[in-house]
Every structure is written in structure tokens, then in C-alpha cells.
Amino acid sequence: MELVLAAVAGLGTGCNQQEQRSQCLDARKNTSEAIVHGKLDDAQKLLDQARSVCAGQSADDLRRIEGQLADRREAAREVAKEKAEEEHAHAFPTEQFLRWATQPVEQFLHSLSHVKCAERGDPAYGFCNAERTASPDMTVRYWEHDRKAVRYEFRTKLPLECEDLGDHRFVRRWSADRRTFELCELTEREARDFSALLIRGPDDNKMYIFSFAYLRKDPAFEQSLRRPSGGEPDRE
């Protein structure tokens, strides 16, 4: 009789263990599926349940699932960050333009699209023109063999002020051909080698940010800053 009872007890224990393994497998599977479908909060709850159900079983698999969940959360944070930066760029495009114009030179080419360089024999030979990737209203003109000789351009209907560019030194202001011009030097550390020219017109506005090195390559542009055509500069 004792042998029969022991056999029955053993059979019951085996059934319980098999049921527990089955529940553990289902819990792990449900957690993984929630991660795949991007239901990360649900996945965290399911993972906690799986730890309880598995009760020490499948520890390696649970750690793997936990790592997958952590990776997906990190990826989701990066996507949210990029989305927030994109929304901020649309809300504050001048700030975005300034960051682009003053980024480290080694990042320069990675930010460009539709690059076109003048061919030999062209009066503009040596210069290249390009757009900022995904921002066709922001363009750049630069000397092909000296990336520091660069002039960035931003076209917008938004009002423009030198104050939008942070610390600066006002140089002069003038008017000509129904447009107003304002020149200022940027004095913040990242932008110390740059100046800005703001042009406000009846239909749209334009901002140039250019380096001192660029002026040596484009004397016509440099001359336009010295003697503006159509009017005398008003100094402050």
C-alpha cells in the first residue's frame, strides 16, 4: 500500500512539474511576442509573471528575453528623441540651421545631399553647392579643397534677427531694393569664425552664415558686404 501511495505521489509531482514547465514556456513565449509587437509595458509585466511562474527554471532564457526588452526600450527612446528633435527643428528652424552651420567639419559631408561641383572652365570652378539632407530650404556653398571656406544659406518666411543666433556683435544695417540687410559677427565659442548676413524681403527672408575663409574665396560676396549696392549702411 505504501508503495502505491508513493507511486501516486511521484506521479502527481511529475505532472505538476510538467505543468509548471508548460506554463513557464507559455509565459516566456508571450513575453517575447509582446516585445516583437512593441508592447513594451505589457512585455515587462509578462516578464515579471514569467519569473514567478518559472520559479528558477530557464534562467538563461529569461535573461535573454530581459536583454531583448532592454534593447527595444533603448531603441524606442532613440526614436522618440529623434522625433522630438525633428519637431523642435520645425518649430525652431533658425536654431537648427545654426547647429548645422557650426557642426564639426568632420561631420560636414555626412549632412549633405544633391552635391554639385563646378567643372573646370566654369567661373565658379572650385566651388560646390549642396542641400542639407531632408532640408531643401537650407543649402551650402563651399570651396571643394577647403571645407572651412563655406557659406550656408537658409530661406524662410519667418522673421529673422541676429539675436536668434546667440551671442554676437552687430556690424551694420542697410536697405536697398525693398530689402533690409543686417550684418553681425557671431561670438559664441562654436561659431567664433563665422559671421551672419540677414536679408529681409517683401516675400521671404534669407540668412547667410559664412566663414572668414569663405570671403577670401568669394571676393564678390566679400565686396558686397563692404559697399552694399543701392544704399549706405546705417551704423549703430
Domain boundaries, the chain: 2-90, 92-226
Name the nearest CA neighbour of 101 among 157, 144, 143, 140: 140
Q: What nine digits make up the cell of 134?
A: 531632408
Using the structure block, give the residue that is written with the C-alpha cell 540677414.
198
pLDDT of the residue at 119: 93
Q: What is the reported pTM?
A: 0.60
pLDDT of the residue at 140: 94
Sign of CA dihedral 136, 83, 102, 198: positive
CB-facing half-sphere around the CA of 83: CA atoms within 13 A:
6
* pLDDT tens digit at each of 236 positions of the chain: 554 444 444 444 555 667 777 888 887 888 888 888 888 888 888 878 878 888 777 777 878 888 888 888 888 777 655 554 454 444 447 888 888 888 877 778 888 999 999 999 999 999 999 999 888 899 999 999 888 899 999 999 888 889 888 899 999 999 888 889 999 999 988 888 899 999 999 989 999 999 999 999 999 999 888 755 555 545 44
Cβ neighbourhood burial of 152 (10 Å; 0-12, 13-18, 19+): buried
DSSP state, residue 235: P
pLDDT of the residue at 11: 44
Task: Look at phi and psi of residue 114 and say left if phi exceeds 0, alpha if psi is from -120 to 50, else beta.
Answer: left
